[in-house]
Structure formats: C-alpha cells, structure tokens
C-alpha cells in the first residue's frame, strides 16, 4: 500500500524558513517522480514543485515559489523534501506530497494527508 506521510509544517513568521518532509513507503521510491501541491484554506489546488525519479532528479517549480523553495529527494531514505525560505503570508496552505505515475513528472496518482504551513506575524 502506498503511503505518503508529510511532516514539518507549523507557524512561521513572514521571511522565515521551514523544511517539509515526506516519508514514502509501499512503492519503489527511486523509480517515481514526486511533487508538492498546496491548497490555501478554502481554495483550490496549486502545483508547487516537482522532481523526476529514475536517477535523473530534474527539478521544476511554479513561478510563485521559484528562487524561494527547493525540492529535493533522498532515495536511500525514501524521503522527499521541500525547503521553503523567505516565506510570505500567501504561502499559508496545506502542503501535500504527491507521487506521480512514472519517473517523469506526470499525473499524480497518490496524495498524502498534507501538512499545514501558516505564515503569520
């Protein structure tokens, strides 16, 4: 059974940093692309960042987070990360870890439960 468990969310002041972690199990983690998707309270889904699998590790970002967020993965630990710097109030959201359907960044076939990030003074 595929499981994605996010952690690392919390309350942070504007300009601060957080690192989100996603622990993956139930599939061969290194073989699949992974993404982060966020959802602001009461709003829709926003794709944030993606990283290829299969040993390639190409990284992709939404314009709203480019230069502030960094996605990475540790295939030896079956773990996905999102380093978030220079956080802004509009980064407040539930952040989902998402597995894609192939080594490329394709459709999302599994979602975690999410970790809440609140940016406020």
Partner 1 sequence: IVMTQSPDSLAVSLGERATISCKSSQSVLYSSNNKNYLAWHQQKPGQPPKLLIYWASTREAGVPDRFSGSGSGTDFTLTISSLQAEDVAVYYCQQYYSTPHSFGQGTELQI
Enumerate binding residues for partner 1 (CB under 8 A).
35, 44-47, 50, 60-63, 96, 100-101, 105-114
Gyration radius of the chain over CA positions: 13
> Is the CB of 44 or the CB of 55 nearer to partner 1?
44
| Cβ count near 16 (within 10 Å) | 15
17: DSSP letter = -
> Is the CB of 5 or the CB of 16 nearer to partner 1?
5
68: DSSP letter = T
Taking the complex as a whole, the smallest distance from the CB of residue 35 to partner 1 amounts, in Å, to: 7
Nearest Cα residue to 117 out of 22, 5, 3, 7: 7
Taking the complex as a whole, the smallest distance from the CB of residue 120 to partner 1 amounts, in Å, to: 22
User: Cα–Cα distance between 60 and 45 in angstroms, integer?
Assistant: 17
Taking the complex as a whole, the smallest distance from the CB of residue 60 to partner 1 amounts, in Å, to: 4
> Is the CB of 13 or the CB of 58 nearer to partner 1?
58
């Amino acid at each position: 059974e595929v499981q994605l468990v996010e952690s690392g969310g919390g309350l942070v002041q504007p300009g601060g940093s957080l690192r989100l972690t996603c622990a993956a199990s139930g599939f061969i983690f290194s073989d699949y692309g992974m993404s982060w998707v966020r959802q602001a309270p009461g709003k829709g889904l926003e794709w944030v960042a993606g990283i290829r699998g299969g040993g390639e590790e190409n990284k992709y970002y939404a314009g709203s987070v480019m230069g502030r967020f960094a996605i990475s993965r540790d295939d030896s630990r079956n773990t996905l990360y999102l380093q978030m710097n220079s956080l802004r109030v509009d980064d407040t959201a539930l952040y989902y870890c998402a597995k894609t359907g192939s080594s490329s960044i394709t459709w999302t076939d599994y979602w975690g439960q999410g970790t809440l990030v609140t940016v406020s003074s």
